[in-house]
Structure 1
Amino acid sequence: MAEPIVFLQNVTISQDKRVIISNLSLAVQRGEFIYIIGKTGSGKSSLMKTLYADMPLLEGEGTIVGYDLATLKESNIPFLRRKIGIVFQDFKLLPDRNIYDNMQFVLRATGWKDKPAMDERINEVLNRVDLLTFAHKMPHQLSGGEQQRVAIARALLNDPELILADEPTGNLDPQTSVEIMEVLRKINEKGQTVIMTTHDYALILKFPAKTLKCENASIFEVVQRTV
């Protein structure tokens, strides 16, 4: 079997000396779509932050997209994040520039210099989320669902091996949430691995996939009908 895109063994995640998740072992294979569910404060976001190196891995072993989280140097975090697309609940678009400039900002920050190549890539990712004609609109001119689709497009800019989506539908109404899920599932069908935290069980029933639950400082797989 191919090496997992995410591999954690005997990992303990703590914040302010409080154990949030203990003795976690997890292997995510390339191409999987995985939900992580659990109540607020159960550790979902802390796990995500550990995966994209916003929180250091202090106990246990962990690799993600080929990087060792336990020995990762701060100078290598930007390189790790080029191989990961991150989608947040609150979009995190820059409000003072249009959608195209939001995208260009990310490309420049990750080392792109060729203007025609940047234009081509921006058009490509906006087209994947059906927002090609929105490039020159400002974020406030878009609905919440459109802003989240822009955020997903931004996460795709560097053709990441893995998408980490932290409550991507948390601020959206049910119909818009379904539209965002359809975008994420299409991305997954093209071969990109997706790990998504959510508290929306209705979405999980509508779009079934492997589901892990955070509870009582541990994570375990749940079968669909008991979610």
Structure 2
Amino acid sequence: MSETVLELKNAAIYQRESLILSEVDVHINKGDFVYLIGKTGTGKSSFMKTLYGDLPLQEGEGSIVDYNLRTLKEKDIPFLRRKLGVVFQDFKLLNDRTIRGNLEFVLKATGWKDKKGMDSKIDEVLDKVGMKTKAFKFPYQLSGGEQQRVAIARALLNDPELILADEPTGNLDPQTSVEVMEVLQDINKNGNTILMATHDYALLLKYPSKTLKCDGQKVFEVVQKKQTT
């Protein structure tokens, strides 16, 4: 297993015929925590969608968790997504089943059969995000922050090599955002690689890390200014 989890070289990202980002060069190693920032409409979501196979990579080179994004076939996408954990802004939990039911649904959909194995995996990921006692609840009985923790637990189910978090604090108040961020930081310290799209600059100051910015159809690394006290 290479140390490189994600690499794009001279890649161009399109949404249908429109060029969204060009000459993209990005390198993420195992264990990194990387922010992707930029104003709304600068291509953060298109960038993320390209990484999990929602948009095809039409130009340049790209590899993610040992999959070649240029030659990625439709039938490979579910397998690629098993190696990725994707966390969305709007949680995407199923309201007709409990938290445990939500996680079980994902495990079954990704080929798990053993009930005991599934139960212990669910307990393990809920424990990691501090939600073990809420497994019997339905998503609508939880606060936004709790729902996002569950969404992070769901992303961890198949031990992903890379977690793509697309504005995971976008719908949360500042205090809850910090709590969710703490969960992501802990997961990162345990060795999970995370790429997080965000426009929450307060979080960047509080938890500085490598930062990529989308602007003017380009993606470039920005060096964060240290806060002067």
| TM-score of the pair, normalised by structure 1 | 0.98
Q: How does 1:76-115 map to 2 (within 5 A)?
A: 76-115=76-115
1:23-172 matches, within 5 Å, as 23-172=23-172
What is the CA-CA distance between 1:16 and the residue it aligns to? 3.0
2:213 matched to which residue of 1? Answer: 213
Provide the C-alpha distance between the structure 2 equivalents of 1:48 and 1:38, rounded to a whole number of angstroms: 13
Hey, what's the Cα distance between the residues in 2 that align with 1:37 and 1:50?
16
Deviates more, 1:177-186 or 1:14-23: 14-23
**Partner of 1:5: helix, strand, or coil?**
strand
Structure-2 residue corresponding to 1:11: 11
Deviates further, 63-72 or 8-17: 8-17
Q: Distance in 2 between matches of 1:3 and 1:32?
A: 10
CA distance in 2, matches of 1:130, 1:219: 34
Q: Which amino acid aligns with 1:150?
A: V
In structure 1, what is the Cα distance between the partners aligned to 2:183 and 2:5? 21
Instruction: Report the equivalent of 2:196.
Output: 196
Q: CA RMSD in A?
A: 1.1
* % identical aligned pairs: 65
Structure 1: distance between partners of 2:65 and 2:151: 21
Structure 2, unpaired ranges of 5+: none
Q: 1:176 is matched with which residue? A: 176
- The AA in structure 2 aligned to 1:221 is E
Residue 226 of structure 1 and its aligned partner are, at CA, apart by 8.3
Inter-partner Cα distance in structure 2 for 1:10 and 1:206: 32
Give 3-state SS (helix, strand or coil) of 1:28's partner. Answer: strand
Unaligned runs of 5+ in 1: none
State TM-score, norm by structure 2: 0.97
CA distance in 2, matches of 1:148, 1:174: 14
1:20 aligns with 2:20: yes
Aligned residues: 226
Q: CA deviation at 1:3?
A: 4.2
Please state how far the C-alpha of 1:15 moved relative to its aligned partner: 1.2
Structure 1 SS opposite 2:4: coil
The 2-side partners of 1:56 and 1:14 are apart by 8
> Relative to structure 1, is the Cα distance of residues 20 and 183 closer, same or farther in structure 2, using a 3 angstrom cutoff?
same
Runs of 4+ in 1 over 3 A off after TM superposition: none
Matches of 2:191 and 2:126, distance apart in 1: 18
